[in-house]
Each structure stands twice: as structure tokens, then as C-alpha cells.
Amino acid sequence: MRVLGIDPGSETTGWGVVEGDARRYGLVNYGVVRAPARERFAARLLKISDGIEDVLRKYAPDVCAIEEAFYAVNVKTALKLGQVRGVALLAAERAGLEIHEYSPRLIKQTVVGYGAAEKHQVQEMVRVLLALKRVPEPHDAADALAIAICHLHHAKFAQLTKETPPARAKLESLLAENPRRRVPRS
């Protein structure tokens, strides 16, 4: 499975592509889409959208994993981040990808083992898990790789919860073939 992880940001949106499964995975590539603060916000959103669409065309991921919105003290910042997430979600949906969202705490818990890990701890664990010589920089790209790794670890569980267990499917089949008249309890 090839996963595109996206760490949305209004100035720097990180992306990372990882391929494999929960037991064995490797780096495909990573980077950032920069949208300078001096540009109009709508122009920055367009730049982010174009950048993500380029990544989607170039690396053809199977799935997109993105960080969920978090609560920010500054409402304006939270709204802008939400708009950037919307652009990223739209690009992934337009590409026909399955989209999964993960909270920052779950991502850190999965990758570092501690839900309140610091940026440098996430970067170092991403370096270790992907067997890289240096920590991925900037931290936005490392966060995007962490999101992709998080998805690989949780994808199997998500798939299992979607599927009907064989025993349940067989029971439902038998009940459909031989419906019993149920007597109401008094």
C-alpha cells in the first residue's frame, strides 16, 4: 500500500509518501508545499492545491492520511488551517483516494509511543522507522511521514472493523434461509 501523509499548514504544508504495511515499510519521498505569508490567502490555497495535485500525479498513492484539525487558541488560525485541510481533502477526493484522518495525539502515540511527544522526538522516530541517515526536514515533512506511518499501523484494524466476521456472515446467511417465528416475551 502506498500512503500519502499530509500535514496541513497555511504557509508550509508537509507531504510524505510511504509504501508497505504495518510490519515493513519504506520511504518513497517527502517534501513541502510552501505558500509565503506575503501572498493573498486565496493564492496560497491555490498554490497548496496545485502542489498536492502534483504529488498525487507523481507518486500515485493508494490512500491519503491527513492530520485532523485541532483546537487552536487563535480562532483565525484555526479557520485558516481548516481551509487548508479542505483544499487537501478536495485534492485527495478528486484523485479518488480513500481518505483517513488521525488526531495529532494518536499520530504521536503510534510513532513515538507518547501522545504528547515533541517535534524533535517525532522527527527522530521517523528517521529510525524509515532507516534514514538524517532526520527529515523541515518538521512539516517529518510530520507528514509520521501521519503516513500511523496510517500503515492502523489500516489493518480499520479494514478488520469494516469486514463482517465469517462466523457472523454465516449466521446471518442461515437466519435468512430459515427465519424463525419469534415469540414475544411477556
> What are the catalytic residues?
7, 67, 140
Amino acid symbol at 152: L
Give phi and psi for 34, each to the nearest 5. Answer: -100, 135
Which residues fall within 8 angstroms of residue 57, CB to CB, at 6 or more apart? none
Among 1, 20, 2, 7, smallest CA distance to 107 is for: 7
Query: How many CB atoms sit inside 10 A of residue 105's CB?
Result: 14
Alpha-carbon gap, residue 181 to 87, rounded angstroms: 53
20: helix, coil or strand? strand
For residue 16, give the DSSP letter: E
C-alpha cell at 56: 498525487
For every residue of 100-138, DSSP letters joined together read EEE-HHHHHHHHTS-TT--HHHHHHHHHHHTT-SS--SS
For residue 184, give the DSSP letter: P
